[in-house]
Structure 1
């Protein structure tokens, strides 16, 4: 599946751009499920937390840090097909590292059964985390909508699969942006609903699943050439 070439003349696996795309896509899609299942198995706790980032404060912190760090590294070494790919993925990689270094706000007392870490309250850290998370996801949305859809062929000469792939990329980008917008709208204008339900968590799930799927498609795991 990873198209790894072990021949003496072949490149190392991680320098293959499609391999990188598949790994990034798989890690992104696996992250929410891995966090939820670990807490369910480890602590017998099935309630989702307010956001994916809040798993940093639980026993699943290792999984969160490892997967996001791996995503960061792979995004930083991703070259892509154009200079814009490299710069945009670098921005995404740096912002994902920064959101790890500056975690979100502490878990509330409602989640004491799974909370194992508490940091000193810091509005700067919290808002800087939000900004980095937004840049991370918007960078990936931009790549999906405007970079993955590029082609050397004019529109009328593109194959059927390329047309379908481009539609998928744009839908994924739309879902990412819509998810971010939903978080902002509910947080600002519907605070009671936002506090009652884990809006941020589910919207982040939509966003990371969308970006992960678009990278898997770009890595030719789905709908390959033509």
Structure 2
């Protein structure tokens, strides 16, 4: 019986780590894969594509203004695959059962992760829109303004649910108190970091032109930060070796 419980625990920790790894790596994988394919001109290589059945592919910028823009690029299948995998992992994640004595007991792990999984799928099903012509578009369409707004809604809801997961669910312990040690404070930093980034994105959308901010990569940079916050919190919860080592070091420094 103890062995079965250990296997269950290990598989749960592995699931958390995988979610964290995918979150941290997604923006850098999309960028590097798109840059690699553009550099070697893969989609114009007759060994890879049938030139008689294909249009000439015109490579655009390696780095896009947002991670969602990679949907239309050579890294599109990777973006779709990672988001779908994250959705499946979140659907499979059950977490702790509802306990009446817990603070915010109704906000169960399963409720938050299922909602986040639906949002992750929504991000893929409703691709981002674009006010500019996408010259390196692998597809024959760009979504409408309405679908683009639906995409933004799913993306915001996904990140907000992950912020709640860090601020409340990952800090939950028996009773009304939430975790307040070094690990608990790290979850708070990750959760509130996501919310601050969301607010900055909202301010940018309302008051400024993205092309003026950080050479047109303002959205991408904030998305990278949000995914790092998201990924780190899941890696810490999954007892990752590196994050565990860093937590012990931080605890040692702050306790002296």
Q: TM-score range by the shorter chain?
A: 0.7 to 0.9
Among residues 171, 182, 189, which one is paired with 2:207 in the alignment?
189
1:74 aligns to 2:95 (yes or no): no
1:25/1:211 contact within 8 Å kept: yes
Choose 13-22 or 129-138, whichever is displaced more: 13-22
Choose 145-154 or 215-224, whichever is displaced more: 145-154
Distance 1:47-1:219 versus aligned 2 partners, 3 A rule: same
Using the TM superposition, give the Cα deviation of residue 35 of structure 1 relative to its aligned residue in structure 2, in angstroms. 0.2
Using the TM superposition, give the Cα deviation of residue 195 of structure 1 relative to its aligned residue in structure 2, in angstroms. 9.2
- Give me the whole-angstrom Cα distance separating, in 2, the residues matched to 1:126 and 1:101: 11
Using the TM superposition, give the Cα deviation of residue 13 of structure 1 relative to its aligned residue in structure 2, in angstroms. 7.3
- Give me the whole-angstrom Cα distance separating, in 2, the residues matched to 1:195 and 1:48: 13
Matched with 2:217 is 198
1:88 aligns to 2:106 (yes or no): no
Q: TM-score, normalised by structure 2?
A: 0.75
Matched with 1:217 is 236
Using the TM superposition, give the Cα deviation of residue 19 of structure 1 relative to its aligned residue in structure 2, in angstroms. 1.2
Matched with 1:128 is 150
- Give me the whole-angstrom Cα distance separating, in 2, the residues matched to 1:126 and 1:14: 40
- Give me the whole-angstrom Cα distance separating, in 1, the residues matched to 2:9 and 2:66: 31
- Give me the whole-angstrom Cα distance separating, in 1, the residues matched to 2:130 and 2:145: 11
- Give me the whole-angstrom Cα distance separating, in 2, the residues matched to 1:118 and 1:106: 14
1:53 aligns to 2:68 (yes or no): yes
1:107/1:115 contact within 8 Å kept: no
Matches within 5 A, 1:1-226: 16-44=11-39, 47-83=62-98, 84-106=108-130, 108-109=132-133, 112=135, 114-152=136-174, 163-191=181-209, 193-194=212-213, 196-221=215-240, 222-223=243-244
Using the TM superposition, give the Cα deviation of residue 10 of structure 1 relative to its aligned residue in structure 2, in angstroms. 7.2
Q: Secondary structure at the match of 2:244?
A: coil
Q: Which runs of 4+ in 1 moved over 6 A?
A: 10-15, 153-156
Structure number, greater radius of gyration: 2
2:128/2:151 contact within 8 Å kept: yes
Distance 1:11-1:155 versus aligned 2 partners, 3 A rule: closer
In structure 1, stretches of 5+ residues that fail to align are: 1-6
Matched with 1:4 is none
Using the TM superposition, give the Cα deviation of residue 200 of structure 1 relative to its aligned residue in structure 2, in angstroms. 1.1
- Give me the whole-angstrom Cα distance separating, in 2, the residues matched to 1:203 and 1:181: 10
Distance 1:51-1:120 versus aligned 2 partners, 3 A rule: closer
- Give me the whole-angstrom Cα distance separating, in 2, the residues matched to 1:125 and 1:215: 30
Using the TM superposition, give the Cα deviation of residue 152 of structure 1 relative to its aligned residue in structure 2, in angstroms. 2.8
Using the TM superposition, give the Cα deviation of residue 115 of structure 1 relative to its aligned residue in structure 2, in angstroms. 2.6
Matched with 1:3 is none
Deviation digits for residues 5-35 of structure 1 (CA, Å, limit 9, x no counterpart): xx8x578779822111101000111100110
